[in-house]
Amino acid sequence: MKTVYGNIESLNKTTIKELEEIYEYKIPKNQVGSTELFTVLMEISKKINKELAVYINRNGTIKLVSAGTKYNAPLPFLTERRSENSLAKLGCIHTHPGESSLLSPDDYSLLTNFKLDFVCAIAEEDNTLKASLAIIEDPENTLSDFIDFKEIDETELLNIKYLDIIAEIEKKTKKIITPEEHDQKEKAVLYIPYSNISPEDLEEQIQEFKKLATSAGLEILEIFTQNIKSSRNIIGKGKIEELFSYINQNNADCLLVDASVSPSLEKILAESLNVKIIDRTNLILDIFAQRAKSNEGKLQVELAQLKYLLPRIMGQGLALSRLGGGVGTRGPGETKLETDRRHIRRRIEILENQLQSVKQRRDIQKQNRIKKELPLVSLVGYTNSGKSTLLNTLSNDNIYAEDLLFATLDTTTRAITFEESGNKVLITDTVGFISNIPHQLISAFKSTLEEVVEADLLLHVVDISNPNWQNQINVVNKVLEELKALDKKMIYVFNKIDAADRDNLHISPDREFYIVSAKTGEGLNELLEGIEKLSFNTTVLKILIPYQDSKALALAHQNGEVLETEHLETGTLLLLKVDLKKVSMFSKYVQ
């Protein structure tokens, strides 16, 4: 039995059976329709006072019947595999009960966005069938003009040989896609569900999701929000219809959802909207796929993507195979959608073994570091808080840093030598954190995040210019707690003071903190002193001992390491490396 799609809940069984029987009609090839089809469509449409739509292939077979609206059709499963700019080999006839037969703007959007062979609207005007028909003049051009037949009678409609018209059009419109056309950004619509948050927090959520989208290289067309009652039901039927209308009128390529979307809901949305569905997890994974440069980073991203893909691989075949690359499809390879579960599980096992080998190499490096007694300092913080810029400034290096979310992904370690003491520390820049960080990333990047777990000191870098910096601290601390690293020695580094509103800063953290600007260098000397103090159990003092106080001079040699000696008129000037617990012994001599 053929399925009738659309709004059929209010229809009785007799009417549904009449609609199912429409599938049995056969349309003469190269004809838009038939008298019998037009008659039954108008009779049922007037009876139920709803639009009806049928989709017909080029052989004259009716492939789909929809009641209530011409848009409620799972077109991705009807269109044959085709290139991006060729026609779908389907035409649509729909009724306008009680209205004019003239095509609406939505009708033209349906034609261009689904690349249909034609769209035809039929209506009864003064008891006479009238029709309007449109054929896209250039399938490769979204701004194309149309070949229009407006308010013609049934005889004129049946005499139109639409396949002949399409054949001529397709001959003329074969063209080469230029590199500039290939480089065009994908157009995205953003959907942000939220619940029980303030307007300020909602605005912060919107801005962050926008940054994620632009970091992925997308062009944002519009943002839709929805106050939801439950995280289990993030979108309703009305919102889907609203999104469908906008997406098709504006030729969007994908819908980004600021939530975790289940495989079943993703399938429903893809069928309903006929665009790629990218949830928050997949978006972040895509950004990571773009950013990963090292072999380890690429392995970690691929592992996370395959674990994300595994529950989605079954039952999506054609819908996903038509996506054709772009955001949400980077990473493991172009053929991943044709790979079955068994192959994906095998690849996951291989990746996990390779990452285990990487971990073993890290352990060896760790032992070498311990032998050299070099403390490890890890930079942690919300993404785009300025960690890489801070490491550049402290180490006089040129590590890649940009004003993008997750601008750097791979772990970078640099050695810093303190001028006066000669002490050295290793400072490591780790991947930035973000709210609602996907669990796949925590799992896949476990080996990288061990740099945080094993650090002797954490520098929690905070973008003090961001109005939501306190919430970002909470997000980072939550991840640190999950990593069992929240109790480590930590310094808050309030960065970007050069861009902050200094007069309205209210800072009262429960740990030591420094206010700095990695960009201008403000406050960095004090920060370095704090890093050295907490990284080592010793410090370096500059003390002046009078010549007559020989006992103090002896104590200095007994309790510390004399790095430099200079004899002045007033006494002996020493550069003394001493245990922090013994600093008080020499406090009155400190210069």
Per-residue pLDDT of 76-114, as tens digits, reads 444 443 445 578 788 999 999 888 899 988 888 888 878
Strands 490-495 and 146-153: unpaired
Q: Identify the three-state secondary structure at position 570.
A: coil
**577 to 376, 533, 536, 537: CA distances (angstroms):** 20, 12, 11, 10
Residues of the chain with pLDDT under 50: 72-74, 76-83, 175-182, 315-324, 332-337, 339, 371
Q: Could you give the strand order of the β-sheet that contains 90-95, starting from the edge strand earlier in sequence?
A: 4-6, 62-68, 51-57, 90-95, 118-125, 128-136, 146-153
User: How many whole angstroms from its chain centre is CA 297?
Assistant: 17
Residue 53 makes CB contacts below 8 A (sequence gap 6+) with 6, 64, 65, 66, 69, 70, 73, 92, 93, 94, 95
Separation between Cα atoms, residue 418 and residue 424, nearest integer Å: 6
Contact assessment for residue 580 and residue 570, using Cβ atoms and an 8 Å cutoff: no
Q: Could you give the strand order of the β-sheet that contains 276-279, starting from the edge strand earlier in sequence?
A: 219-227, 187-194, 254-257, 276-279
| Phi, psi dihedrals of residue 146, rounded to the nearest 5° | -125, 150
Look at residue 412 in the predicted model and tell me its pLDDT: 76
Q: What is the CA radius of gyration of the chain?
A: 33
Residue 67 makes CB contacts below 8 A (sequence gap 6+) with 4, 5, 6, 7, 8, 11, 19, 48, 50, 51, 52
Position of tokens 């396949």? 163
Q: Structure tokens of 235?
A: 């979108």
Residue 515, H or E segment: strand 513-515
Q: At what angle do helices 295-309 and 446-453 cross, to 10 degrees?
A: 120
| Phi, psi dihedrals of residue 385, rounded to the nearest 5° | -90, -10
- Amino acid (one-letter) located at 45: S
Q: Identify the three-state secondary structure at position 109.
A: helix
Separation between Cα atoms, residue 38 and residue 52, nearest integer Å: 11
First vs last C-alpha separation in the chain: 94
DSSP state of 32: S
| Domain at 373-535, CATH from 3.40.50.720, 3.40.50.300, 3.10.580.10, 3.40.50.150 | 3.40.50.300
Q: Which of 430, 507, 429 is nearest to 464 (CA)?
A: 507
Look at residue 289 in the predicted model and tell me its pLDDT: 77
Say if pTM beats, i.e. exceeds, 0.85: no
Q: Could you give the strand order of the β-sheet that contains 538-545, starting from the edge strand earlier in sequence?
A: 538-545, 572-579, 560-567
Q: Structure tokens of 510?
A: 């429960």
| Domain at 185-338, CATH from 4.10.91.20, 3.40.50.11060, 3.40.50.300, 3.30.360.10 | 3.40.50.11060
Separation between Cα atoms, residue 460 and residue 457, nearest integer Å: 10
Q: Which of 100, 106, 103 is nearest to 123 (CA)?
A: 100
Q: Identify the three-state secondary structure at position 219.
A: strand
Per residue in 45-66, pLDDT tens? 999 988 999 999 888 989 888 8
Q: Identify the three-state secondary structure at position 119.
A: strand
